[in-house]
Structure 1
């Protein structure tokens, strides 16, 4: 393994952060599919915008665009799981995007304006906040080893 997190020739999703990216990718694909399934999604599904009356699990507002974004996010996560560096970037930057979406949602939820093109409600907003924190945190910390040279501490005899 190289320091950059790549596992060339070692197999798919071998490191912890790659497994986490794969897990997020699979969940996003399943959520994207579920958003199109009547019964799991209630109400009338529209293309985009806050006028969509559809709710995933009766809680989270969705639209065709919203579901397609979940599918795309999931596919990218599944692909990212094959590369250590890409999986880490997927988690970190995916988390940042979700935190930005959380801020966007806090601003536009309940407001009818042309910039409100994603159906969002309070449960969506707080889910996006949680996803942002968890994804970015996992990308930053999962699979990172403790430093081997700590200032003021003697080096181990095994060196």
Structure 2
């Protein structure tokens, strides 16, 4: 005798798994954007600039941030939360914003950290994090919509 599951496979709280993942990513990215403005969480907070490589503030002591980068994270997170209301939107968010994050990482590697073209003020840790996050988002867009 088997027991019935309290929910259908892949559906939790009335949402599909891909929606839950997109909501989680949206919340985490927004949280990073918010915490990028918090002194203490962001070291050298007095060196936080709006744009460019002259912003020497360090989120968690590892990731170089600027106000623009924090705003970009807030915007991407908000888009993710909005798109996650439908499973097709959640899948599209994870796929296409995964591509955006990969492109941000590639752009950061290409222009370098000291270049004036480094408008988001990203360092190598940021570039690797963008690339890994983007790849993970793209994998999740496929993995959680297979069924």
Structure with greater Cα Rg: 1
TM-score normalised over the length of structure 2: 0.86
User: How much does 1:12 deviate?
Assistant: 7.4
User: Structure 1 segments of 4 or more deviating over 3 A?
Assistant: 10-13
Structure 1 pair 143/59, CA: closer, same or farther in 2 (3 Å)? same
Structure 1 pair 130/18, CA: closer, same or farther in 2 (3 Å)? same
User: What residue number does 1:119 align with?
Assistant: 121
Counterpart check, 1:101 vs 2:104: yes
* Gaps in structure 1 of 5+ consecutive residues: 1-9, 146-159
In structure 1, distance between residues paired with 2:28 and 2:15: 19
In structure 2, distance between residues paired with 1:132 and 1:29: 15
* Gaps in structure 2 of 5+ consecutive residues: 1-10
TM-score normalised over the length of structure 1: 0.80
Contact 2:91/2:145, CA 8 A, preserved across alignment = no
**Secondary structure at the counterpart of residue 58 of structure 2:** strand
User: What residue number does 1:153 align with?
Assistant: none
**How many residues of Structure 1 are paired with residues of Structure 2 in the alignment?**
135
User: What residue number does 1:66 align with?
Assistant: 69
Bigger helix fraction: 2
